[in-house]
A and B are shown apart, each in its own frame.
Chain A
Amino acid sequence: MPTHENRAVYSIGAVARMLAVPVSTLRAWEERYGVVTPSRSEGAQRLYSRGQVEQLRYVKEKIESGMSAADAHRLLAQDLQTGQLPATQVAHDADRLPLVLIAERDAYAANLEYFLRTEGCEVAVAMNATQAKLHFDERGPDVVLIDLLISGGAGFRLLADFASRGTARLVAVSAIDSADEALRLGAAAFLRKPLEPLLLVSTIRDLLGTSALVRSVGEQRVKS
């Protein structure tokens, strides 16, 4: 299993959105069954890995097919023990080109832009906080990737600002561990630099809802 599957990235809110399962249900599953236990940031906020999102999707599918939550977790625990992990399926179909805004410094930005374009995203790049604000207002991106330390730490304010508008999924990145701060300010995911392109791309696809992981859950809701 590639390492990026195991990196703790997503907030509980982001996972709830991706799977269309309420936050309270995710917490209840964790407390009752203790099979999918996200790691915690320094400030004790839950951080889920991609692999864990897959596991939760598996549980959800089993429940939808009529199994009890307890049995679904028991089955998952067995599978995990025997090494049969639910596989990630990334679909490469997009009905429209999603727009990703990157607020990042020079060399990194060019690199990210390249990777995201090859993944079928439209990309706008902002080299500083002022540009990022302009792009955000003019173009209404689906996902924004913000380096928190851009423009001397202005990324923190930018993140809070964008989060308050509630129109885009926000991915915070930083060279230092800022997961707590990022989640508190409203980021859906936090990634520590240096960025692994694969992890970044799958994170953005998950948040965009273009991966099979997200699409397969549709609009059905699951009760705890």
Chain B
Amino acid sequence: MNERLPSGNRHLDAILNGGLLKNAINLIIGIPGSGKTILSQQIAFHNAVSERPALFLSTLSEPLDKVLRYAESLQFFDRAAVHKGRIVYEDMGQVLGEQGLDDVMEFVDRLLKDVNPGVVVIDSFRAFHALAPDVSSFRRFLYALTRRLTAASTTSIWNAPYSRAQAVDEAEFAVADGIIALDLKLVAARELRVLQVMKLRGSGFQSGEHVYRITDAGLLVFPRLADARDQTRYELSAGRSESGIAALDDLLGGTGYWSGATTLIVGPSGIGKTLMGLHFLYEGARVGEPGVLATFQENVSQLSRIAASFGWSIEDKNVKVMSRGLIDLNIDEWVYDLLGLVDATNSKRVVIDSLSDLLTAAVDPVRFREWMSSLIQRFTRAGVSLMLTNEVPDLFQLQRISDEAISHLADNVVLLQYVREGAELARTLTVLKTRAMPHRPVIHRYEITSQGFVLGDVMPLTG
């Protein structure tokens, strides 16, 4: 494999299969404001060492002082690195403004000798176009510059304000070994920043669009959760995860769900889906299996009250609540928070409440299916039991279990429904599906008491 220059961002390096191509020409393209200057400086600072400093050359797009002023507020900006010359900022504006491409070449040549940089950033590369009297002299300059930079064994990062569509037209795209595009998409009236690797010579990379955010820490990238179906065999857990509802465990073959299984709880509003999730988590906490409740609906104090009314505490060290509002929530970003929390707490049980909320955030149903199946696969292989709640609009006689074909991904499906009994509504539970377990698909009455979920008799068949 080609040598890599790590970006300093774990997720971006994963997308790039290790990092930018070392001793090569890497192009970062994107509309103004997409974070090219930030990303290139982030990489420069991460790789700057005294023996091979990083060289940042500004051209005509932005005065160097302004670049510096904004950069200084970013967390990765290390003033000592600038003071000690580990990173060298230089303005090419003067050379570009008054002289020609030959002088630019001479200027770069001198810097390559003086600084001996390991990384050279040119921000932005497009300024050179304007200086070339015609296309052929630009190409000559481009090839000569590429040769010099390659001879000096430096990794080049050229920023250019091109869109992905323009990326094929300009000469520098043919010369570049790696191309990263930063773009802004409008999805359901929400702005979404996406990063896409368009080219990485001699190397694989994670294809498609990856969401990113510009923060004080630089660009935070969230690789699209799209794991290929992993065909390798894995250890199926022989253990069971008890549901926390004794009578339901009986229905599930006596000892609850298989550990690592995915369970879908379907039902209308207010019927007790969240409560089933809480039973599952607090049963885990009781037997020493930590768990995470990922919720969008309840604010934590509300949730605290609900849990307390059944004798549970959300302060329980084995139950962590991850609560996020749906506004501007991005599932690819969100999932790394969840995976991180599950990892950090060594959780074995996860409840996502609810699937319908996630789908709202996902916007694109096709992408959502891919995402969901990747997430389920990750949890299954890690032996983490997942419970998903899904709200359906029908109070009686459910028409569909889930919109996005999630039910076929789930190992278990539990249906909660209202049934009319004269003037009253009774709550009922049916285990619709359990994978690799015997179960009895009968309709049970249940009640919600201060003890929580209490399963009752089988419903008699009536009209």
Contacts and interface: CB of A to CB of B under 8 A. Distances in A.
Interface of A: 105-108, 127, 148-149, 151-153, 156, 175-178, 181, 193-194
A43 to B, nearest CB: 11
Given A149-B64, A149-B68, A194-B65, A176 B82 contact: yes
Given A152-B55, A156-B83, A175 B68 contact: yes
B69 interface: yes
A193 B55 contact: no
Contacts of B94: 105-106, 127
Interface in B58-115: 63-66, 68-69, 71-72, 77, 79, 82-83, 85, 88-91, 93-94, 97, 111, 114-115
A187 B383 CA distance: 63
Interface string B135-160: 00000000000000000000000000
Nearest to A105: B91
A216 B177 CA distance: 67
A151 B79 contact: no
Contacts of A107: 63
B79 A152 contact: no
Nearest to B89: A149
Contacts of B115: 152
B91 A178 contact: no
A177 B80 CA distance: 10
A106 B114 CA distance: 22
A191 B248 CA distance: 73
Contact of B79 (A127, A177, A193, A194): A177
Given A149-B89, A152-B88, A153-B88, A176 B55 contact: no
Contacts of B89: 149, 152-153
Given A127-B94, A152-B115, A153-B85, A175 B65 contact: yes
A156 B79 CA distance: 13
Given A153-B89, A175-B64, 18 more contacts: A105-B64, A105-B93, A107-B63, A127-B94, A148-B83, A149-B64, A149-B68, A149-B82, A152-B90, A152-B111, A153-B85, A156-B83, A175-B65, A175-B66, A175-B69, A178-B82, A181-B79, A193-B69
Given A106-B94, A152-B115, A176-B69, A181 B83 contact: yes
A107 to B, nearest CB: 8
A105 B69 CA distance: 16
Contact of A178 (B65, B69, B83, B97): B83
Across the A-B interface, give the 6 residue pairs with the lowest CB-CB distance, nearest first. A175-B65, A175-B68, A152-B88, A152-B90, A176-B72, A181-B83
Contacts of A153: 82-83, 85, 88-89
A151 B79 CA distance: 17
A152 B69 contact: no
A106 B93 contact: yes
16 contacts: A105-B64, A105-B91, A105-B93, A108-B65, A149-B68, A153-B83, A153-B89, A175-B64, A175-B69, A175-B72, A176-B69, A177-B79, A178-B82, A181-B79, A193-B65, A193-B69
